[in-house]
Amino acid sequence: MEEDEGNELRDFNVPIFFNQPRHTEDVRGLKMLEKSWKMTERMKTVSVALVLCLNVGVDPPDLIKPTPCARLECWLDPLTMNPNKSLEAVGNSLQKQYERWQPKARYKQSLDPTVEEVKKLCLSLRRNAKDDRVLFHYNGHGVPRPTQNGEIWVFNKNYTQYIPLSIYDLQSWIAGPTVFTYDCSNAGAIIDHYLLFCQQRREESPVSVKNIIGPLTNLPFFTLLDNCIHMASCSSNEVLPLNPDLPADLFTSCLTTPIKTALRWFCINNNNLLVPNITLEMIEKIPGKLNDRRTLIGELNWIFTAVTDTIAWNVLPTKIFQKLFRQDLLVASLFRNFLLAERIMRSFNCSPTSHPKLPSTHSHPMWYTWDLVLDRCLSQLPSIINNGEEFAHSTFFEDQLTAFQVWLALGSKERNVPEQLPVVLQVLLSQIHRIRALDLLGKFLDFGVWAVELALSVGIFPYVLRLLQSSARELKPRMLFIWTKILAHDISCQVDLVKDGAYKYFLQILADSQMPSKDRAMAAYIIAMVIKDYPTGKEAAQQSNIIAICTELLDDPNPLLRQWVVLCLGYEWNGYDPARWCAVRDNAYEKLSHLLADECVEVRASVVYALGTFVSNKNDRNGQADNIDQGIGMTLAACVRDGSPVVRKELVVALSGFVLEFESYFISTATKLVREVESEKDKNRNNQSGPGAPGGRVLVPNKNTGLTLHQSTDSSHSQQSRRSRLFMSQSNNSLSPATTGDYHPALERLLSLPPRSVYNMVWRALITLLNDPFPEISDLGKELCNYLMIKITAGSSSPTGSLRVSESVSTDIGGLDDSALHAKKFSKYVILNNFSLDCWGIERSQSQPQMPITDILPHSQQFSNKRTVFGRGPSNSDSSDDDTDNKIYRLPNVKTELGSWCSSQFRKSLLKPLNYYDPSSQEYYESEWKYLFNAEIRAEAAASYRYLSKCKSQLDDECFIQRSTFPPQIMTFMEYQKAIIVAGQNEINVWNWEQSNKMKSFRNSLKNYKITALEVINEHHSPLLLAGTDDGSLRLWKHFDNDDNNLKLVTAWKGLSEMLRSSFRRSGLVMSWEQQSGKLLCSGDVKSVSIWDVRRETKVQEIPTGAGSCVTSISSGVADRSSLLVVGCGDGSVRLFDRRLPANESRVKTLFEHKAWVVKVHRQSGGNGNIISGSIAGDVKFWDPRFTESVKTIDTQHTLNAMDVHKEADILVCGSTSQVIHVYNHSGELNSAIKYHDGFRVQKIGPISCLAFHPYKVCKLI
């Protein structure tokens, strides 16, 4: 039972490869957040007009007040004071109440004013406030209600009459932006008429808002009025409450003294208190200060802020919330209190209104939480007042954090957003709960983009910015995580970090050796974002010695830290010369070069990026800078064989910067090689028929179709023709090393010669990248080489900038005749041979028409003999020579998004495990189901082995037959799917062998390279198909095993370089895949075995075979964790290597009994690890690796074309040239011989080109 369970769970221990983000997604950056969360227009209220129309002692004529009734104004009873002083006392009290919310504002009181006094006040405040906001508070308790014509009431000079004041005039005087508060009956009518007058002004105005650019003063008048905010105590048909237990200005009291008002209303309105004998007098004795959160009344005020913020954020649209609660401190405070006013006044049948209009909030559940807080607070009052006891702090914030924690445990973006987010913001102000709040906030931000956007929109940014002033060590990991998430979504926050010097917080962490590496990695990322494309940030970081700090961390064990300090260096000196020279003094570029062999792909790619930005700095240069850059160029050129396309793609960009800096040298190098080759050809020119000889073709104008191909007969263009073929010709003679053949002989010579200079080396690298197996890389290489080709062909080799041409490098191009230097002649005669398009990686079928030269070489027809190096290309319109003198070259569009992509990785969850490791994820259960299915397949296969050994049945039943559209070269079964993969030439077909239908068919490469090896990787989880071709390339395909049109190339690289041509036959590329170790063993038409670590995507070992022929088959012993490697060779030898030994000493045995090409070698798993090999001579030998002689031989008596050995069962199969298939067991006994197909019409099987066993089932593929 335990064995069965272990077999079922076996696949959980098998590693998965090529599942990193660089393999599963495009290496491209993501869009940053829209800046909607940032208040682009911060405002402040600088002036306050307090207009009180009380007329103390005289009731307005339209209202009969009962006795008793509400009399308090600003918590004062005007009737208990001298009438002459009561109005002034109320005005002063109201001003103090407002000053608590905005102490720096300029206050002006207008007590029982006239129309002229109001006008003068409004004009004065607007003049002083300019574009800032003005608050206009109107109390109309002593005057009639607003009229139906849009008027409020004031007085005449003698206070004998009520004088109407038109809202239309008030608009004209105070303009906007303004916030209005109206405390009177029918106050909603004022807002209605205000908006009506705004609409009237808008219709009368001839000015369009869209045409206005600039400050607020430039906006049309009606637009300024639209910027105004209104709060009214009731709707247009309601009367203010007259309850004697309440103040007469209940609305104003809610706005300016919310805690006091809320407590009084709570006592009046509730009879279910925990301690029912609380009186209004006791409420006045609550100890503490409102602005001190450590006191009881201060804590209540703090909780009230959190409650009202939460209600507003959960109810209001984001834009309105930000405008009312985040744009202006005074407005935010008034609107928090307005929510309280709505709740209290609705209990007295009044409905406060506002503009912008708010949804109803009086019944929000958070008010019940607020009631509980008040209830618990008041329950402590007797003991506090009578006994002087200390109050117990409220558990409100702890409870809310617990609720938020519960939401996080079950939360996702599909559910409603957490209501407690504004509370978390308030808790950040408390040292007691701050750590927990930051932890929960970090977990929330880890949910993704939507969570970060919500947190920023609620206003978290200024709080976490302020916390950077704290030196508390326990905050640092949490602040790092939060700021990493913020900057990953919005890099514009770099400005805020630099402005106040907050970036130093992260620099100190980066330089702190006591901090964990993972935290320092986030600090490095934050600093990198601070300086990326931000000159002010670069300067600030340079002054803080960023180069030295980052250089010290290059050897840190954490790959993420290495990656980001390298990118940080690259960002710092990119376009910033002081940092570049600082790096020169610190030898930072030399220290970086050591990381080009780093085991982490992203680190290597980052190093290439950083070195590329180092050499492409466009500032003033000198000899020292040139020498340094040339050394870096040689270092970069050596990276051309890196196994990761991410690194190689970055290499093209880096080399493009180097090429553009030293453009004249590259042109000179290529031109010199062309001359050497052409001079050699000129010696034999007399024996040839001239420039029109076969193989050369010339483009000439065609009136109907543009440029077409014709044989050249004009000898005047011979020199130009020869030089034009620098990149655009192909040698018909195959070289012994199969490295070139697609290039001009000059480039073949360049590849064959030892690298005499950095320019030769970089040229070699560019040519290699031009034919990279990964299309994106070859496209980038093509873009760069096309640019150089145009410059070379047109004869331009002027240095760029202040670059000085060294005397040691010849830049003489005097040998080029005028036809090669003038654009018009070049546009008429450009030489191409038959293989020019293939040379440049542009595949063209034979039926495809010839491509015009302008499609291949954009702008090549339109350049004059005078042109600068940099800038845009010319237009496609015709122009004269004088006009084209000003035309300039289009720079190659060679760029990547490595940095942005690396940054986007921080947008993903950093706290959760990968889905297939997370037991709560759907992917985990899918994997578990698949692993159980895999175990069933293996169990069925094991049962068939036992049956086969007992019954001795013949393996000759035919269950699948299909005709292929190409001759099959190699085939393989998929282990756990009923699918077979067949490859021939450059095509791959995937068949369902049970249903006999083709699942997918595709070409492996753009060029017709022959597929010689197939391996399936990650078969136990998510299969990937690895195809090797005879040029040494490896391509890995995803989604090859389904009917969907979603095939994707995951990665591609050169597994072998410098392939040789065999004198007898070629093996191409052969390989062996080790799933458990992640090692790929490659060989073929080379004299060594390359071992690649696919996790690191680097070649970790190269073992020389010591044979004079190619390698034909490889088998390794990874199944039993053996280090023995078995290699079959074209000379018949079987060679054994111990991979633990040094490469030159690793060959431990050579077996020479085969006399011909070894078709197959196989090392059995388990037991003694015996070896089985077969050659084309027909002999199959069994070896014990301890001995030098075979222990058994099977003579098939036929010439073998193919052979395979079952991985588990005791059988092998041989296919001969006589169209017979023999199946043997390991004892040498013949199980069956297959000569004919099954069926009614007996038909002899065709020629056998390849054979394959199913890895587990006892079935074979022919």
| Inter-CA distances, 755 with 392, 760, 829, Å | 81, 6, 33
Domain boundary pick from 1028, 1054, 1080: 1054
Is position 283 within any domain? no
Residues 103 and 225 both lie in one domain: yes
Residue 341's pLDDT band (cuts 50, 70, 90): very high
User: Is the CA virtual torsion 1234, 1240, 1243, 1248 positive or negative?
Assistant: negative
Tens of pLDDT along 1058-1067? 888 766 678 8
Q: Is residue 714 part of a domain?
A: yes
Whether residue 234 is predicted with pLDDT greater than 90 in this model: the reply is yes
- Tokens standing for 826? 């070049």
Cα 1231 from chain centroid (whole Å): 58
> Where residue 880 falls among pLDDT bands split at 50, 70, 90?
very low
Higher pLDDT, 1157 or 211: 1157
Rounded CA gap, 321 and 318, in Å? Answer: 5
- C-alpha torsion sign, points 1209, 1215, 1219, 1222: negative
Residues 947, 921 share a domain: yes
Strand-pair partners of 710: 698
Residue among 845, 990, 1018 nearest 930 (CA): 1018
Given this model, what pLDDT does residue 845 score? 35
Share of the chain above pLDDT 90, in %: 52
Q: How far apart are CA 226 and CA 219, in angstroms?
A: 11
Does 156 lie in the same domain as 121? yes
**pLDDT given for residue 1262 in this prediction:** 58
Helix (H) or strand (E) holding 572: helix 559-573
**pLDDT value at 858 more than 50:** no
Q: What is the DSSP letter of 544?
A: T
- H or E segment and range at residue 108: strand 106-111
| Residue 957 in this model has a pLDDT that exceeds 60 | no
Q: Which residues pair with 1023 in a beta bridge?
A: none
39 located within any domain: no
Residue 547 has pLDDT above 60, yes or no: yes
pLDDT at 543: 94
List the Cα angle 935/938/943 in 5-degree steps.
125
Question: Which residues partner with 1036 through β-bridges?
Answer: 1026, 1051
In this prediction, residue 815 carries a pLDDT of 34
Which of the residue ranges 571-580, 622-631, 1037-1046 has the most confident prediction, judged by mean pLDDT?
571-580
In sequence order, the 6+-apart residues with CB closer than 8 A to the CB of 64 are none
Instruction: Measure the CA–CA gap between 234 and 248, rounded to whole angstroms.
Output: 13
764 occurs within a structural domain: yes
Claim to verify: residue 1031 and residue 1085 sit in the same structural domain = no
How far from chain centre, in Å, is Cα 996? 42
Averaged pLDDT, 86-102: 95
Q: What is the mean pLDDT of residues 546-559?
A: 96
For 436, the enclosing helix (H) or strand (E) is helix 434-445
SS3 state at 971: strand
Residues 203 and 91 in one domain: yes
The answer to whether 258 and 266 have CB atoms below 8 angstroms apart is: no
Percent of the chain with pLDDT over 70: 79
| 747 close to 726: Cβ distance less than 8 angstroms | yes
DSSP string computed for 815-862:
TS-GGGT-HHHHHH-EEE-TTHHHHTT----TTSPPPPHHHHSTTTTS
* Amino acid 2: pLDDT: 44
d(CA 497, CA 534): 12
Q: Which of 478, 412, 460 is nearest to 309 (CA)?
A: 460
Q: Which residues, listed in sequence order, are joined to residue 1073 by a DSSP beta bridge?
A: 1080
Contact 516, 556 (CB under 8 A): no
Q: ∠ CA 529-533-537 to the nearest 5 degrees?
A: 65
Q: What is the pLDDT of residue 275?
A: 64
Residue pair 299/427 in contact by the 8 Å Cβ criterion: no
* Residue where a domain stops, chosen among 230, 249, 268: 249
Listed residue (484, 481, 463) closest to 528, CA to CA: 484
**Which CATH number covers residue 521?**
1.25.10.10
Express each pLDDT in 1143-1157 by its tens digit.
999 999 999 999 999
> Please, which pLDDT band fits residue 223 given cuts at 50, 70 and 90?
low
Helix ranges, 239-328 (H): 250-256, 258-269, 280-283, 296-315, 318-325
Tokens of 550: 């980052």
For residue 1078, give its domain range: 1060-1195
| DSSP SS3 for 403 | helix
More confident residue, 1173 or 749: 1173
Number of domains, the chain: 6
Specify the pLDDT at position 752.
66
The predicted pLDDT at position 921 comes to 74
pLDDT band (50, 70, 90) for residue 571: very high
The predicted model scores a pTM of 0.84
Asked if pLDDT for residue 297 goes beyond 60, the answer is yes
Are the C-beta atoms of 1221 and 1262 separated by less than 8 Å? yes
Between residues 1249 and 1024, which one has the greater pLDDT? Answer: 1024
Say yes or no: 140 and 186 in one domain.
yes
Query: Is pLDDT above 80 for 689?
Result: no
Render pLDDT for 377-419 as a digit per residue (tens, 0 to 9): 888 888 888 888 888 999 999 999 999 999 998 866 677 889 9
CA distance 762 to 743: 16
Q: How many CB atoms lie within 10 A of CB 543?
A: 9
The reply to whether 1065 and 1048 lie within a common domain is no
- Per-residue pLDDT tens over the stretch 718-728: 443 343 333 33
pLDDT by residue (tens digit) across 106-160? Answer: 999 999 999 999 999 999 999 999 889 999 999 999 999 999 999 999 999 988 8
Per-residue pLDDT of 927-941, as tens digits, reads: 888 888 888 888 888
**Mean of the per-residue pLDDT values for the chain?**
82
- Using only C-alpha atoms, the chain has a radius of gyration, in whole angstroms, of 42
**Same domain flag for 937 and 960:** no
In a domain, 528, yes or no: yes
d(CA 356, CA 358) in angstroms, rounded, equals 6
Q: How many CA atoms lie within 13 A of 1026 on its CB side?
A: 28
943 with 961, same domain? no
Q: Are 618 and 600 in contact (CB under 8 A)?
A: no
d(CA 481, CA 468): 13
974 in Cβ contact with 1019 (< 8 Å):
yes
Q: Is the pLDDT of residue 850 over 80?
A: no
d(CA 173, CA 167): 10
String of DSSP letters for 431-485 = TTTHHHHHHHHHHHHTT-HHHHHHHHHHT-HHHHHHGGG---GGGHHHHHHHHHH
**Angle (CA) 546 550 554, round 5°:** 170
CA 1069 from chain centre, in angstroms, equals 35
The answer to whether residue 29 is domain-embedded is no
Q: Within this chain, do residues 945 and 963 fall inside the same structural domain, yes or no? A: no
pLDDT at 926 over 90: no
CB atoms within 10 A of CB 152: 25
Instruction: Please confirm whether the linkage preceding 68 is cis (ω < 30° from 0).
Output: yes
573 inside domain: yes
- Whichever domain contains 1142, its CATH number is 2.130.10.10
My answer on whether 959 and 944 are in the same domain is no
The domain boundary, picked from 1036, 1054, 1072, lies at 1054
What distance in Å separates the CA atoms of residue 1082 and residue 1055, rounded to the nearest whole number? 7
What pLDDT score was predicted for residue 35? 66
Between CA 697 and CA 829 the distance in angstroms is 10
**710 pLDDT more than 50:** no
Contact 1244, 1196 (CB under 8 A): no
Residue 379 lies in a domain: no
Helix (H, G, I), strand (E, B) or coil at 1088: strand
Considering the domain architecture, whether residues 936 and 1000 belong to the same structural domain is answered as no
Residue 799 has pLDDT above 90, yes or no: no
